[in-house]
Amino acid sequence: MAGAVGATDPAPGRVELVRRPALVVAGEPAVGAFGELGELVPAAWRRLLARSDLPAPAGGRYAEASAGLGGGRYLEVVGVLLEAAADVPDECALALLPAGRWARLLFEGPVSRIGDGFGEVLAWGERNGLALGGRKLDVGYAADGREGPHELSVQVLGAG
């Protein structure tokens, strides 16, 4: 099984454009309305941390990928960030993250404020005339729950 991948560290507090290869988050899913995710996502984390069939995450940091499904429903996959061609167990949920441009921010606040960090990225995209959305990626979760920096990324839509 291929190992987990990591990214180069962005500058703290500054949104930047990066090009990413195709990646995948392999792990456990949570699907539901936004208001349900507060219960569903922690349950997915518990299932993930009970698994032993995934590689250790790069730098000890787990990832969470999210995408809107329409109709007010969302898909969150918590797990390990891997190269898209990685061999993963059949029982894994996969969040595919396409190659291309992503807006990225190193967020150094508490986990409870990560939504604010994504808000910063989206506002930056609007100020710079970029259409952001589609998929989001948050890398920085520790298995023991320790707080630390999170790399927040939002897919740039359109050509480029």
Alpha carbons 27 and 93: distance in angstroms, whole number: 5
Reported as a single tens digit per residue, the pLDDT across 103-133 is 999 999 899 999 999 999 999 999 999 999 8
Given the structure tokens 């595919």, which residue do they identify?
A: 96
pTM of the model: 0.88
Who wins on pLDDT, 14 or 87?
14
In CATH terms, is domain 16-156 a member of 3.20.80.10?
yes
Domain ranges of the chain: 16-156
Amino acid at 101: R
What does the block give as tokens for 112? 């409870």
90, pLDDT greater than 90: no
**According to the model, what pLDDT value does residue 4 have?**
44
What does the block give as tokens for 101? 């441009």
The alpha carbon of residue 154 and the mean position of all alpha carbons in its chain are separated, in whole angstroms, by 9
Reported as a single tens digit per residue, the pLDDT across 7-16 is 445 555 699 9
Q: Which residues contact 22 (CB under 8 A, 6 or more apart)?
A: 83, 84, 96, 97, 98, 99
Going by the DSSP 8-state scheme, the letter that residue 9 receives in this structure is P
Q: How far is CA 85 from CA 1, 41, 102, 112, in A?
A: 10, 26, 20, 33
